[in-house]
Amino acid sequence: MIRADLHIHTTYSDDSTVTPKALVEKLVAHNSIKVAAVTDHNTIKGLNKTIKLAATYPDVLIIPGVEISTAEGDLIILGTNVAPPEPWTVENIIDFTRDNDCVSVVAHPYREYGMGDLARNYEVDAIEVFNGVSSPHINKLADKLAKSMKLPGLAGSDAHSLSESLTAYTKIQATLNIDEILKAIKKGLVTAHQATRSIHF
């Protein structure tokens, strides 16, 4: 079983101050969260650097990803080192995700730039039910959405600063292997948590 923060922005998102180096150092120092997904806004430019820095540490793993802004709301792709082809419609992103064995995640559905109930119209793989910078009420609505769609609920900090990172994590029944992690997420072998307490509503 691993604990992973599945939603982090680095300085390659122009609204984040988390450097790849600081993120990797925090994972190295952390006693239980050793996995993080780098999900910058609309770019994969920060991935290589972060993955390279983490490669020195056998107990730390970076899941490659990206958070794409679509007209309907933000969608995270986990497991990709490349950006999906444009135009970035929800349909195109889901097709890309499926063709490349990635995982599509509806980010913070009921916050600004969230897909809200539109998520119900698409065959996404998972819903972010705990977002570290969303209110408890908004997260609760996301959890209800995931349950009603019978989809796995994931947690991520959505950190844009180092102090926000690793404040949320997903427990995943997998080892430190990206393919295994992605498969376990799709199978729903996951639970969403806040770093200090479990979130079961």
| Contacts with Zn ion, residue ranges (CB under 5 A) | 67, 158
Q: Toward Zn ion, which CB reaches closer, 67 or 125?
A: 67
Nearer to Zn ion, 27 or 105 (CB): 105
Distance, CA of 126 to CA of 151 (rounded, Å): 5
Nearest approach, Cβ of residue 19 and Zn ion (Å):
17
Identity of the residue, 5 or 67, whose beta carbon is nearer to Zn ion in the bound complex:
67
Q: Of the two residues 161 and 177, which places its CB atom closer to Zn ion in the complex?
A: 161
Task: Phi first, then psi: give them for residue 138, nearest 5 degrees.
Answer: -65, -40
d(CA 27, CA 62): 10
Least separation in angstroms between residue 95's CB and Zn ion is: 22
Q: How far is the CB of 175 from Zn ion (least distance, A)?
A: 26
Residue closer to Zn ion (CB basis): 99 or 165: 165
> Minimum Å distance from CB 65 to Zn ion?
10
Whole-number minimum distance, CB 59 to Zn ion, in Å?
25
Q: What tokens does 56 get?
A: 């020195």
Compute the distance between CA of residue 9 and CA of residue 162 in angstroms, rounded to an integer: 10
Minimal CB distance residue for Zn ion: 158
Cβ(164)–Cβ(158) below 8 Å: yes
CA distances from 75 to 13, 40, 49, 199, 201 (A): 15, 11, 23, 23, 24
B/e letters for 73-104, b = 16+ CB within 10 Å, e = fewer, are bbbbbbbbeebbeeebebeebbebbeeeebbb
Q: Which two tokens stand for residue 126?
A: 């998972």
Instruction: Report in angstroms how near the CB of residue 160 gets to Zn ion at its nearest.
Output: 8
Among positive and negative, which fits the CA dihedral 13, 17, 21, 26? negative
